[in-house]
Amino acid sequence: MEIIQIQDFLVKVKNVPVIDVRSTREFLKGHIPGASNVPLFNDDERAIVGIKYKDESRNSAIRAGLEIVGPKLVSLVEQSKSIAKNNKVKIHCWRGGLRSESMAWLLNTAGIKTFVLNGGYKAYRRYQKEYYSKKVNLIILGGKTGSGKTAILYEIENLGEQVVDLEGIANHKGSAFGALGQDAQPSNEQFENNLFEKWISLDFHRNIWLEDESKAIGKDFIPDEIWIQMRNSPVIALEMGKPLRIKRLEKEYAQFNKEELKKSIFKISKRIGGLNTRQSIEAIEKRDFSTAIDLSLTYYDKAYQFGLSGREKEMVFRIILEEDNPKRNAEKVLDFAKKNGLHKNIQCRT
Residue type for position 222: I
Q: Report, in angstroms and rounded to the nearest whole number, the Rg of the chain calculated over CA atoms.
A: 25
Residue 41 has phi, psi (to 5 degrees) of: -125, 145
Q: Which of 21, 35, 76, 93 is catalytic?
A: 93
Contact assessment for residue 238 and residue 321, using Cβ atoms and an 8 Å cutoff = yes
Strand 18-20 to 235-240 pairing? unpaired
Contact assessment for residue 149 and residue 211, using Cβ atoms and an 8 Å cutoff = yes
Q: For 29-34, which contacts have Cβ atoms below 8 Å and span 24 or more sequence positions? A: 29/187, 29/189, 29/190, 30/125, 30/187, 30/189, 30/190, 30/192, 30/193, 31/121, 31/190, 31/193, 32/92, 32/121, 32/124, 32/193, 33/193, 33/194, 33/197, 34/197
Three-class DSSP category at 104? helix
Please indicate whether residue 348 is annotated as part of the active site: no
Contact assessment for residue 265 and residue 284, using Cβ atoms and an 8 Å cutoff = yes
Contact assessment for residue 128 and residue 157, using Cβ atoms and an 8 Å cutoff = no
Residues with catalytic annotation? Answer: 93
